[in-house]
Amino acid sequence: MTRIGISALVIALLGVASADAQAPRLRAQVESQRVYEGEPFLYLLTLSNGAASAEPEIPVSDDFKVELVGQTQLMSSSFTVIINGVTTQSRNDQGRRYEYRLTPLRSGRLTIPAATVLVDGTKIQSQAITVEVVGPSQQDIANLEIAVDHTTVYPLQPFTVTLKIYLKALPGRFARENPVHVAWDRVLHIPWVDPEVVSPALSSPDDLNEWLGPLQRRNGWGFNINNLGSPGLFSLFGNNATTFELAAQKVKRKDASGVEASYWEYILSRSFVAKSTGELVFGPVSLKGKFAVENARDPNSSQLNVEPVYTIAPAVKVNVKDVPLAGRPETFTGAVGDFTFHADLTPRQAKVGEPMTLTLTLRGDGLLETAGAPNLEAVPAVAESFKVYEATEETKAHERIFTYSIRPENKEAQEFPAIPISYFSTAEEKYVTVYTDPLPVEISAAERLSANDIVAGGPVRKETESVEVARDGLFANMSTPATLVDERVRPEWWFGGLSAMVVTYGLASVVAARVRTRNADPEAIRRRTAVHRARQRLAGGNRRAAEDPHAAIDAYRAACLGLLADALLVDEQGLTVGDIDRLAHRLDLDVELTRRLKQFVDHCDSARFAGMMAETTPMSKEAEMLVAAMAGELKAKRKLS
């Protein structure tokens, strides 16, 4: 064939394939062509190159139970071919895969009918598939039985499903050996390992780990259950193949020939609770594996034969029915199960009209959440003597608690009466009424106003009903963003502030007292005011200088000598020039200052007494300079303050 011819053929085939690939197609597949009766297997329907308007339909068949497990969106795929530089592309559009679990209901060569699906109004059909369904073998080596303790239950009434497995005891000297203590494959398929497989409304109080975890073995002893732990399957039990060793005991039962033989009985039980009415089907359960049997050719041989076995136990049904309407008492409020009923009242002593709290507790196993509060006013003894307010309801583990606020309306009540409540007993399958114990109470009269307390006067008015504030119930919430203020108290800060004020006051008082003491001393006063007084004299002299120069000179002289006398606290009367040296020496005055002072005083004496005329102005200035110099030096020497 020429090169051109080959290319054309490839292109043509690709064109056909791509054209064919574009048409919608529904393809069916099974995980195995050989399956076992009662054991589900995977059935896949793949729709490609089209979008279905609804799920595919699989014709109803008596041979299979069909359950949709899930569906997956398929991504588009494409491929490119380049031949002799010519590029050809082909693509499959998006599709969908549907996964089903099919459980064969009988053995034999069975056909899974073709499924159909609508794509853009066109019915597309898959191919039918034939599978070989292996039925249970006729043998007495292994047998299964499923039992339930209740075939009829009520919602939330617990019931137990028990699987019993009987394995014939090993022959000869191996009779005492547990047959499952041999690491051969023994696979159990139990549908209710996952309760939701049985029904979405079914649940078990134990989760899988709590139920099977303690039975787990790694040494191959026991049974493989639903391939839990097999590689590739998500399992709580890890990714290694795992088995579960069930509780076992030896029993006697008849074998296939009707002769009593020894069997090992293995029991696996699980409790369930159905949340709604309906029929629940548990099973079938299948067991397949290899089991050791007697060597038929040589029964005395120490070697045993191995025989493959497949057996199933037919399913059992449990009917979940609603509690009956017939015979339902008025005191029934919805509880189903088995319960006791208790009452408590606080306080036991009260005055008429005071609030009391009644707590009724319904305690036991069963359906509690929907039980309503008993109607206390239907109890005549309660209605006669107590006012009852609406109850609050609360559910805790195995308890339903009703809390009432009640008030005694008279003091006649000696006890709070027994309160009835009815529930439907699942054990007895009838309505049962239980009562609380009566509770002794002590009700005294409310306080009354005496006649003297009532002031009469004015026109008689028609009595009107007074409105009483209800004591029960909660008042509304009050917080607003404006109330978001931290009200916490830090007492240490407050006491610290108070202490600071006390200390401040104390210190101020002490200082003030010392100042006052100091200021009251005459000598201190004299020293403190010495300079002021000297300046006052100078000012006085200056004022009188024009009218009376002699008086001015006297003032200037007195200012200087007076300052010296004040510093030493001596009498300034009679001080002369001759005293200046002595005084200056006591005061440790500067020598030059002392000379100037003596010269000035002498000048004043001459002007005053010797009749010599002197200008008062320069004398005033000299006196001011002397006073200032002496004041500075005496203050520096702390002779003056």
Partner 1 sequence: MKRWFWTTLLGLSVVVSAKAADVDLATKLVRAQDTFQQAKSKEEYLKAAAMYQEILDAGIVNGTILYDQGNAFMKAGERGRAIACYRQAKIYHPRDPYLDANLQYALGSPAGDVAPLAQLYFWRNWIGYREIFTWMMVFGCSAFVLAMIPIFRPNTRILTRLSLVPAAATLLLAAAGAMDWYRFDYLSHGVVTATEVTARKGNADSYAPAFTKPLAEGTEFTVVDERGGWLLVQLPDGPQGWIPSRDAVIF
Given 461, 488, 571, 578, the residue binding partner 1 (CB under 8 A):
488
Q: Which stretch binds partner 1 (CB under 8 A): 209-217, 290-298, 409-417, 468-476?
A: 468-476
Binding string, residues 305-344; x marks residues near partner 1 by CB under 8 A = ---------------------------------------x
Kindly state the tokens that stand for 433: 């009424």
Region of residue 287 (phi > 0: left; psi between -120 and 50: alpha; otherwise: beta): beta
Q: Which stretch binds partner 1 (CB under 8 A): 74-82, 312-320, 429-437, 497-505?
A: 497-505
Using CA atoms, how far apart are residues 556 and 602, in angstroms rounded to an integer?
12
Q: Judged by CB under 8 A, does residue 575 bind partner 1?
A: no
Size of the site for partner 1 (CB under 8 A): 42
Given 314, 495, 514, 518, the residue binding partner 1 (CB under 8 A):
495
Using CA atoms, how far apart are residues 621 and 623, in angstroms rounded to an integer?
5
Region of residue 77 (phi > 0: left; psi between -120 and 50: alpha; otherwise: beta): beta
Task: Tell me 191's DSSP state.
Answer: G
Chain residues 354-383 in contact with partner 1, contact rule CB under 8 A: 355-357
Chain residues 199-258 in contact with partner 1, contact rule CB under 8 A: none
Helix axes 522-544, 491-519, angle to 10 degrees: 60
Distance of CA 527 to the CA centre of its chain: 83
Alpha helices in 299-405 (DSSP H): 380-385
Closer to partner 1 by Cβ: residue 91 or 396? 396
Using CA atoms, how far apart are residues 530 and 572, in angstroms rounded to an integer?
12
Which residues are 121's β-sheet partners? none
Closer to partner 1 by Cβ: residue 457 or 473? 473
Q: Judged by CB under 8 A, does residue 467 bind partner 1?
A: no
Given 447, 465, 468, 486, the residue binding partner 1 (CB under 8 A):
486
Q: Judged by CB under 8 A, does residue 80 bind partner 1?
A: no
Kindly state the tokens that stand for 52: 């279905």
Query: Least separation, in Å, of the C-beta of 387 and partner 1?
Result: 15
Q: Which stretch binds partner 1 (CB under 8 A): 94-102, 169-177, 259-267, 499-507?
A: 499-507
Closer to partner 1 by Cβ: residue 419 or 531? 419
Using CA atoms, how far apart are residues 623 and 600, in angstroms rounded to an integer?
8
Alpha helices in 569-615 (DSSP H): 577-587, 591-609
Q: Which stretch binds partner 1 (CB under 8 A): 16-24, 193-201, 411-419, 494-502?
A: 494-502
Closer to partner 1 by Cβ: residue 404 or 424? 404
Chain residues 510-529 in contact with partner 1, contact rule CB under 8 A: 512, 516
| Residue 71 near residue 96 (C-beta atoms within 8 A) | yes
| Residue 544 near residue 559 (C-beta atoms within 8 A) | no
* CA angle 417–419–424, rounded 5-degree value: 160
Residues that bind partner 1 (CB under 8 A): 344, 346-347, 355-357, 392, 394, 396, 399, 401, 405, 471-481, 483-489, 491, 494-495, 497-498, 501, 504-505, 508-509, 512, 516
